[in-house]
Structure 1
């Protein structure tokens, strides 16, 4: 039986408070586009929903193509079974993948990349943050120019105009002057440019360690506590 004594809070009370905090902070928008590094977006989705967050997902046609090419999974972007991404694990990975239950699945909301009549296309729909991971050069350009030519670009523009956290995760090398200019313009507008450049100082033991480094840094930026990596200066 759970009870709260003067000055003491039970574990169930703490869990209830955490659930309320998550709801108060709003959902996270996750867009996956056609840059290499699909595993970063898939892993981020897995971590967020199991942490209790509602996640609104949208995937571009090129994003689905990269998922197929790099991870061997087919995603129908018109009626995506994004729940399948929650158990997706590449052959080289040894990371533990937790099977989703009904409550976890209920936290995922999928939107077609060309559907503007969705909540995330409007600034009146409150969110905590948006992450474009991975972020292609064309998506970067479209957001920088406020082109709004698909839902991903429109939702990113919404986060900029509403002064909410927008994290863009490009994975490209080398970078052209035009790409650098787009990054500079977006950073000046308030976006966080977080290239998929994993560090090597956290006790790397596998490719999973490098993936989790980027996912951990993304979660830091959107204000989600995590212990995916050994942090510098922590024993």
Structure 2
């Protein structure tokens, strides 16, 4: 399995970092793009350096490298996850504005009918934000807001982060025990 992970300039970069860590544990090949703004947010919100995050991934690409292999439909990968997804990125994807590596790989993912998972990080949402997400959903993209669940009785922030990563793994059919599944 090959997964493209894009971390954009929204609060919540720890979701993307944790996703990379869990994919690495599963020995899944990852292709990482970090937006320039996200690099600043990583330094601000976490104890990780950008180099630390880059080293978790199997491959790393610059946000402005439109010749990167992941931007070609002939490069076979299974899914793209944009986590967190800024509203700027959501808007660009919704409108087919593929001006950088992140937006282009999302465009390729949709046109090739591969899995695109968007983890939007904004609140509250404007109508245009919602409409952009609806447009992506209509094209087959999956919108997975990082909304906490409580049926697994989380005790820590890490429990809440694992819940979201577990939901992503469930969509990708990756076996996981990151949270206790709903039981009746």
TM-score of Structure 1 vs Structure 2, range by shorter chain: over 0.9
> Which consecutive aligned stretches of 4+ in structure 1 deviate over 6 angstroms post-superposition?
none
Which of the numbers 39, 54, 72 marks the counterpart of 2:29?
54
Give the Cα–Cα distance (whole angstroms) in 2 for the partners of residues 198 and 129 of structure 1.
Answer: 23
- Corresponding residue for 1:230? 180
CA deviations on 1:127-156 (whole Å, 9 max, x unpaired) are 110100000000000111110010000000
Q: Deviations over 1:167-207 (max 9, x none)?
A: 00011110001100000100001100000111011021111
Q: Determine the C-alpha separation between the residues in 1 that align with 2:136 and 2:61.
A: 24
Larger radius of gyration: 1
RMSD: 1.4
Q: CA contact under 8 A between 2:17 and 2:53: conserved in structure 1?
A: no
> 5+ unaligned residues in a row in structure 1: which ranges?
1-25, 87-106
Unaligned runs of 5+ in 2: none
Instruction: Write 1 or 2 for the structure with the bigger share of strand.
Output: 2
**Higher mean C-alpha displacement, 34-43 vs 64-73:** 64-73
Choose the corresponding residue for 1:34, options 9, 34, 53.
9
Q: How many residues align?
A: 184
Question: What is the distance in 2 between the residues matched to 1:209 and 1:117?
Answer: 38
The alignment partner of 1:202 has SS state of: coil
TM-score (norm 1): 0.75
1:81 Cα offset (Å): 6.2
1:129 & 1:74 partners in 2: Cα distance?
Answer: 26
Q: Normalising by structure 2, what TM-score? A: 0.96
- Indicate yes or no: 2:167 matched with 1:217: yes
Deviation at 1:223, TM superposition (A): 1.9
Per-residue CA deviations over 1:39-97 (Å, capped at 9, x if unaligned) read 11000000001101000000001111111111043326xxx8611xx4xxxxxxxxxxx
Give the SS at the match of 2:50. Answer: coil
